[in-house]
Amino acid sequence: MAKHHPLGVDIGGSGIKGAPVDLDAGAFAKDRLRIDTPKESTPDAVTDIVLDIAKHFQSATGDSPIGVTVPGVVTRGLVRTAANIDKSWIGTDVAALIGSKLDRAVTVVNDADAAGVGELHYGAARNVEGLVVLATLGTGIGTALLDHGRLIPNSELGHLEIDGIDAETRASSLARETEDLSWEEWSGRLQRYFAHVEDLLWPDLIVVGGGVSKHAEQYLPLLHLRAPIVAAQLGNAAGIVGAAWLAANG
């Protein structure tokens, strides 16, 4: 019988993406499936899509655990904030909701924290002595703090205020797209943001994740920081890989 793999599912503002993850390789065991996030991105509507994704990968995953990421703070299994998704997520016990429809263990984690765990075990944050700050630049800015190999969850540094403005509204990848910023213009904003983060936390390494990490050569060389700043090695897959790792390893 083929080996079963845990399933990682990344719930985002525009798409819900999932794949079985081969934890020996730290990579997808099958091609990722992406389904558009419904307009009304309520927990019930999104759960239906997570169930479709689980069904799609049934033969590769069997009854293996599922790791699910959400774009908000998660404490003791409850979603606590929802900056870029439907506000009805606040207070939702996502594992209980999905678990009520599917008899499988479900772990829920903040999306950037999941990406941090993916990079910690298989990517740029592996074997780093000291503090790593990972920032995912997407619809918002998510952050993960990894100190000597341990995740400090729910850091939410995307919402640092710079000049009185929530940083993610200026420096996210979405801000670059909607304001049609050149790489130079956007990197000016990133410089301001990461210099501020660095002054507060003094990380040993900064890792940039999210879809835009694949264009890292356009903007990372323009940044001048004390700590080295590198692109996530798993790119946009880091969240799914990290979620599956957490589901399997607790």
Q: How far is the CB of 137 from ligand BGC (least distance, A)?
A: 9
Smallest CA-to-CA distance from 142 within 76, 246, 213 is with 213
**Judged by CB under 6 A, which stretch of 19-27, 109-117, 196-204, 225-233 contacts ligand BGC?**
109-117
Residue with smaller CB distance to ligand BGC, 29 or 244:
244
Between residue 39 and residue 58, which ones bind ligand BGC under the rule CB under 6 A?
Answer: none
Residue with smaller CB distance to ligand BGC, 86 or 168:
168
3-state secondary structure of 79: strand
- The dihedrals phi and psi of 30, each to the nearest 5 degrees, come to -145, 160
Contact with ligand BGC (CB under 6 A) among 41, 61, 64, 84: 84
Contact with ligand BGC (CB under 6 A) among 158, 203, 209, 242: 158
**Judged by CB under 6 A, which stretch of 15-23, 121-129, 138-146, 212-220 contacts ligand BGC?**
138-146
Measured from each CB, the residue nearest to ligand BGC is: 142
Q: How far is the CB of 4 from ligand BGC (least distance, A)?
A: 29
d(CA 14, CA 103): 27
**Judged by CB under 6 A, which stretch of 23-31, 58-66, 71-79, 92-100 contacts ligand BGC?**
71-79
Radius of gyration from C-alpha coordinates of the chain: 17
Token readout for 81 is: 């904030």
Contact with ligand BGC (CB under 6 A) among 71, 123, 209, 242: 71
Residue 72 near ligand BGC by CB under 6 A: yes
End-to-end CA distance of the chain: 25
Residue 123 near ligand BGC by CB under 6 A: no
- CB within 8 A of 241, min separation 6: which ones? 8, 21, 26, 27, 28, 118, 121, 122, 234
Token look-up 């799914």 returns 240
Residue 83 near ligand BGC by CB under 6 A: yes
Q: Are 234 and 123 in contact (CB under 8 A)?
A: yes
3-state secondary structure of 190: helix
**Judged by CB under 6 A, which stretch of 25-33, 55-63, 81-89, 200-208 contacts ligand BGC?**
81-89
DSSP state of 98: H
Residue 112 near ligand BGC by CB under 6 A: yes
Residue 140 near ligand BGC by CB under 6 A: yes
Q: Are 51 and 27 in contact (CB under 8 A)?
A: no
Q: How far is the CB of 109 from ligand BGC (least distance, A)?
A: 10
Q: Are 104 and 68 in contact (CB under 8 A)?
A: no
d(CA 60, CA 78): 28
| Binding-site ranges for ligand BGC (CB under 6 A) | 71-73, 81, 83-84, 110-112, 136, 138, 140, 142, 156, 158, 168
